[in-house]
Amino acid sequence: MENRITPPLGADQTIARKYNRAQILNRLRLQGAVSRADLAKQIGLTRSTISRIVDGLIAEKLVHETTSSQNERGRPGILLSLNPKGGSAIGLEIGVNFISILLTDFSPTPIWRDRVYLYQEQNWEAYINKAEQLINTARQIAEDKELPLMGIGVAIWGMINHTKGLIQFAPNLQWRNIPLESKWTELFNVPIYIENDANASALGEYYFGAAKNVEDFVYLSMDIGIGGGIISKGRLFRGASGFAGEIGHMVIDPNGETCSCGRRGCLETKAGRRVIVQRYRDLTQEENMTLEKIIQRGLEGDTVAKMIFSEVGESLGMGIGTIVNLFNPKCVILGWSLGQAYELLLPGITRSIEKSSLAELNQNLIIKPSLNGSDDALLGSIALVLDEIIRESF
């Protein structure tokens, strides 16, 4: 299915023009260099309409013209592409003990990145102060390159209140009600976009990864717990309160262990970094193990690691099966550590999905690893900025 942006029914000319503008930018994002004639055919607009909108985008420096080798008549052809000099975007990922930052141009090509580590017990002010220092460095680099800053995207391991612009609750950092959006909007004077890390990661895969041409998919991530991001018809699905995607707290065993949320048998009690590491340590009596080492051992044939990942895969498959019944996604993307363990998890996931979802819904389902790995959320934070510019949401 194509990534098509369509105006709402009854849209007036101003709104329709903005949607057409968004369609052009989205096509250039997906396809790279395209001629005006091809854009007109693909979008279904007249060449004069395409030229009028494109001329405006060129004036804004969001699009520029390049020369192809030859057209069908043997003459040099003029192609359109996103203009790297159109501006810059800053993305951040704020994790349990680190902050990552990425600066890109509008194309978007990475310009500068950094990652710093902090002690988990440090208060939120220490994290925010360090993040502001990193942002100021990125802003100076963008200014030196004459790239106006279009916005700052932030991916954080927590629940985001989009109505109030709050980090409402980041359980692993023990943060509550942090008014980051208003604070940084005033400080940096650019749009600030804050998103849960799994949602941002899903958007990162949609823009830059394994789901680039997929309009309906679910992204799963695993670290301390299990996170989920849902893309429906090419847009993030956040739910009524903005908290959709808490897949890790789906109950799959009512008589199971108590979860950190206080309920029993959540998916997170069956899968997650701590669960896998502790299970391997209990069975092997090896203390100095990490998830990465266990994955590597499993890939090398370690029978204990393979058994654990088979069990984890079956638990994940139960959760995915419910998601398939509810959302009928085209694919499920296994992000970060799940992606690294893809070969070990897939058999168990597949068996369990077949048991827990309708055959009519799962027969064409694709399960695949992310392409961006641990950079998913960071790239997603860049995508938050670009998505807003390209789509011009209403």
Domain spans in the chain, listed from the N-terminal domain onward: 13-82, 86-203+377-391, 213-370
Contact predicate 345/313, CB 8 Å:
yes
Query: Which span out of 35-49, 159-173, 320-334 was modeled with the highest average pLDDT?
Result: 320-334
255, with CB counted inside 10 A (0-12, 13-18, 19+), is exposed
pLDDT > 80? residue 356: yes
In the chain, the percentage of residues whose pLDDT exceeds 70 is: 93
Contact predicate 348/312, CB 8 Å:
yes
pLDDT > 50? residue 2: no
pLDDT > 60? residue 11: no
pLDDT in tens, 74-120: 566 789 999 999 999 999 999 888 999 999 999 999 999 999 999 76
Give the other-Cβ count within 10 Å of 274's Cβ: 14
Average pLDDT, the chain: 89
Distance CA(345)–CA(204), nearest Å, equals 22
pLDDT in tens, 23-74: 899 889 888 889 999 999 988 889 899 999 999 999 999 999 987 655 555 5
Choice among 49-63, 124-138, 228-242, 369-383 with the minimum mean pLDDT:
228-242
Q: Regarding predicted confidence, which is higher, 184 or 17?
A: 184
Question: Is 13-82's fold the same as 86-203+377-391's?
Answer: no
Rounded mean pLDDT, 179-184:
94
Task: Give the right CATH number for 13-82 from 3.30.210.10, 3.30.200.20, 1.10.10.10, 3.30.465.10.
Answer: 1.10.10.10
Taking the model in full, what pTM does it have? 0.88
Contact predicate 111/145, CB 8 Å:
yes
Task: With cut-offs at 50, 70 and 90, classify the pLDDT of residue 243.
Answer: confident
Q: How is residue 219 annotated by DSSP?
A: E
- The residues near 98 (Cβ < 8 Å, ≥ 6 apart) are 115, 116, 117, 118
Task: With cut-offs at 50, 70 and 90, classify the pLDDT of residue 14.
Answer: confident
How many CA atoms does the CB half-sphere of 127 hold within 13 Å? 23
DSSP secondary structure, 192-245, as one string: EEEEEHHHHHHHHHHHHSTTTT-SSEEEEEESSSEEEEEEETTEE---SSS-TT
CATH 3.30.420.40 fits 213-370, yes or no: yes
Contact predicate 196/158, CB 8 Å:
yes
Task: Give the right CATH number for 86-203+377-391 from 3.30.420.40, 3.30.950.10, 2.60.40.1180, 3.40.50.170.
Answer: 3.30.420.40
| Residue position matching structure tokens 């899903």 | 202
Distance CA(391)–CA(386), nearest Å, equals 8
Beta strands 331-334 and 217-222 are: parallel
pLDDT reported for residue 31: 85
Tokens of 226: 């299990």
- Measuring CA to CA, how many Å separate 1 from each of 128, 198, 215? 41, 23, 7
Contact predicate 153/200, CB 8 Å:
yes
Task: With cut-offs at 50, 70 and 90, classify the pLDDT of residue 1.
Answer: very low
Tokens of 372: 């961006």
pLDDT reported for residue 30: 84
Distance CA(51)–CA(36), nearest Å, equals 7
Q: Regarding predicted confidence, which is higher, 390 or 72?
A: 390
Nearest to 22, CA basis, from 390, 393, 394: 390
